[in-house]
Amino acid sequence: MDKKKPKQTTTRGTDEAFLKLMKVSGGSLLKLFGMTEDKAKKYHFQAVVLKDKSLKPDIEGFPILASEEGRIFLEFQGYSDPFIRQRLMAEIFLSSASEQYEDFVMAGIVYTDKKYQTDAKPLNTFNRFTEKTDCRLNGCFQEIVLSDYTEKELETIDPKRVILAPFTLSAKTNKTTLLAKGNEWQSEVRKTFPTELQWEALNILGLFILNRFRKITYEEVITMLNFDLMDTVAGKQLYKMGLQKGDIKAEKALRDTIFEVLKVRFGPIPRKMATQIRAIKQMKILKNLILQASQCPDIDSFQERLS
């Protein structure tokens, strides 16, 4: 009899967003672990590529934050993985052996939710043959849980941590509240990050929103952030997945988003205006109208843009 394959669950991963966060603002994360701003500024993102192929890991490189004062290995955990601590320790040992690195190492795990920390198993205890004392690895890591923080607590020390704000809200937050918060977050990103980093920061924020709020759609993220994830590789992949599964009917989804934004901001939509919007077929125009609907000060201003 054939064994049934275990049911796979679909998750919106945070790995790509976390790597981007490390590149754009790794220091913001380090301050969460208690590091001073002066010391955090010294660290920069780099990837260690394993030189010794005989080690045969599942991957051939590890992202780290490095400076002359040592290396920092961080894992960003947005789903349940019982052996996350063991995997992180293995990454440290493998990369240190490959690079023949002997100096200071710090290891940390950022959990997006308390349940993911609870699911993580403790590190192994090694028994010594000649003595009764054991060698324990527990306590080697620093761990934080983003859902334990309020948005204000995250941003007090470093305003750039606004891109982690989605994890301070309940995953069941209603869409109307989330839409309003998303607009606040994108505004803070534009105030806090320099112009050359705003695009990347909004990209990260959008991917974190998609991870945290499972029922949110790509079009709704556009509305929240006034930012088109279709300009990013991850956004295009998510959009194509939606089309393949039949979850998104492109034109209808965009129109529905326009209607939802208008209703939330201005109330009932005039019949003539709704008819005009339904007549539009061009995706580019529909996407632009979502931005206009979220930016125009009143319904009359939107009607002028529509015309």
Q: Choose between 65 and 219: higher pLDDT.
A: 65
Residues in contact with 65: Cβ distance below 8 Å, sequence separation at least 6, in sequence order: 22, 26, 30, 43, 44, 45, 46, 71, 72, 74
> Quick one: tokens of 281?
């077929």
Mean pLDDT value of segment 233-240: 49
Residue 249 confidence (pLDDT) above 70: no
Between CA 226 and CA 291 the distance in angstroms is 6
Q: What is the pLDDT of residues 130-177, one digit of tens each?
A: 666 666 666 778 999 999 999 999 888 889 999 999 999 998 898 888
Average pLDDT of the chain, as a whole number: 79
Closest CA to 104 of 52, 162, 64: 64
Over residues 262-269, the mean pLDDT reads 80
Write the CA distances from 256 to 62, 223, 286, 289, integer angstroms.
Answer: 42, 11, 10, 11
Give the tens place of pLDDT for each residue, 8-17.
Answer: 333 445 666 7
The CA distances from residue 150 to 26, 53, 162, 290, in Å, are 20, 44, 11, 30
- CB-based burial of residue 254 (10 Å sphere; 0-12 exposed, 13-18 middle, 19+ buried)? buried
pLDDT, mean of residues 241-262: 66
- CA 128 to chain CA centroid, Å, is 42
Q: CA-CA distance, 171 to 113, in Å (whole number)?
A: 10
Q: Taking 70 as the threshold, does the pLDDT of residue 283 lie above it?
A: yes
Tokens 């937050």 belong to 173
Q: Which pLDDT band holds residue 79 (cuts at 50, 70, 90)?
A: confident
295 burial level (CB within 10 Å; 0-12, 13-18, 19+): middle
Return d(Cα 178, Cα 205) in angstroms, integer: 13
Once rounded to an integer, what is the mean pLDDT over residues 57-82? Answer: 79
Mean pLDDT (whole number) for 269-297: 85
